[in-house]
C-alpha cells in the first residue's frame, strides 16, 4: 500500500487554520483606539511531507486594535490575546497526532523602538512554557508543544512595549513575505500506516494589510 505524500502535505497545511485566530486589544491606559476589525488575511501555505509539497490559501479574519495616537517619545503598549481553539484530530483520512515547534513573527513597526515583550496565560501547550523574544526586527512567539490532536488549547497573551519615534505613523502587520521568509512556521505530525510523519509547514500573508495605524504627535 502506497502513501499519498501530496495529500499528507495538504492535511498538514490545513492544520494551520486554528493557529491563526488572533484578537488584539489595546491596553486599558489608552483612551482612544483605532481598529481594523474584520480584515481577512490570506495566508499562502506550503507544507512538505515525504519529499512532496502542497500549496494552498487559507483565509483568516483578524481583529486588531492599537492607540489612535501617541506623543513623540511616548510609551506604547500592545497586547495580543489569542482566542481559545482546538487542534484538528484528523484530516484527509489521516490522524493528526500533534502540532509542535510553532513560531509566529510580529515585526517591530517602523518609527518605534522595541522595549520588551512578555507572555502570560495559555493552556494545552505542552510541558515547555511558551517563550517570546526579539529576533532581529521581529518579536517571535515560540510554542514548543506538543499541541495534541483533538485537544483544546489557548496561545498565551502577548504584551509588547514600544517607544514612539519623533514623527510619522506606527503601523503593525503580521510577519512574513514569502515561503523563504515566512511569518508562521510549525510542524504537524501525522499518523500514516501506523507511523508518525513530520510535515514542516511555512506560511506568509499575501497581501499583508496594515492591521493598525498609530499617529505620532
Per-residue pLDDT tens over the stretch 88-114: 787 667 788 998 999 989 999 999 999
Helix (H) or strand (E) holding 14, with range, is helix 5-14
DSSP classification of residue 29: T
Rounded to 5 degrees, φ, ψ at 18 are -65, -20
Q: Which is higher by pLDDT, 61 or 148?
A: 148
Is 158 inside a domain boundary? yes
Rounded to 5 degrees, φ, ψ at 41 are -95, 125
Is 22 inside a domain boundary? yes
Query: How many domains in the chain?
Result: 1
What is the CA angle 176-51-96, rounded to 5? 75
DSSP classification of residue 11: H
Q: What is the pLDDT of residues 184-207, one digit of tens each?
A: 888 888 887 888 988 888 989 899
Please state the pTM of the whole predicted model: 0.81
Is 217 inside a domain boundary? no
d(CA 11, CA 53): 11
d(CA 83, CA 20): 9
Provide the residue range defining the domain that includes 173: 5-212
The CATH number of the domain holding residue 111 is 2.60.40
Is 89 inside a domain boundary? yes
Amino acid at each position: 500500500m502506497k502513501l499519498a505524500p501530496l495529500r499528507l502535505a495538504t492535511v498538514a497545511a490545513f492544520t494551520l487554520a486554528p493557529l491563526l485566530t488572533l484578537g488584539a486589544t489595546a491596553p486599558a491606559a489608552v483612551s482612544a483606539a483605532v481598529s481594523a476589525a474584520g480584515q481577512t488575511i490570506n495566508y499562502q501555505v506550503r507544507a512538505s511531507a515525504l519529499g512532496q509539497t502542497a500549496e494552498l490559501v487559507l483565509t483568516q479574519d483578524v481583529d486588531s486594535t492599537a492607540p489612535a495616537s501617541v506623543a513623540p517619545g511616548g510609551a506604547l503598549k500592545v497586547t495580543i490575546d489569542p482566542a481559545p481553539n482546538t487542534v484538528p484530530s484528523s484530516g484527509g483520512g489521516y490522524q493528526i497526532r500533534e502540532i509542535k515547534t510553532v513560531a509566529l513573527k510580529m515585526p517591530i513597526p517602523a518609527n518605534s523602538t522595541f522595549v520588551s515583550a512578555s507572555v502570560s496565560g495559555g493552556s494545552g501547550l505542552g510541558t515547555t512554557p511558551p517563550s517570546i523574544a526579539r529576533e532581529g526586527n521581529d518579536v517571535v512567539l515560540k510554542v514548543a508543544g506538543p499541541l495534541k490532536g483533538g485537544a483544546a488549547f489557548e496561545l498565551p497573551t502577548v504584551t509588547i512595549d514600544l517607544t514612539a519615534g519623533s514623527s510619522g505613523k506606527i503601523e503593525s502587520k503580521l510577519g512574513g513575505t514569502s515561503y523563504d521568509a515566512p511569518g508562521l512556521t510549525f510542524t504537524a505530525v501525522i499518523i500514516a500506516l501506523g507511523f508518525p510523519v513530520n510535515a514542516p509547514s511555512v506560511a506568509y500573508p499575501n497581501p499583508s494589510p496594515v492591521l493598525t495605524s498609530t499617529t505620532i504627535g
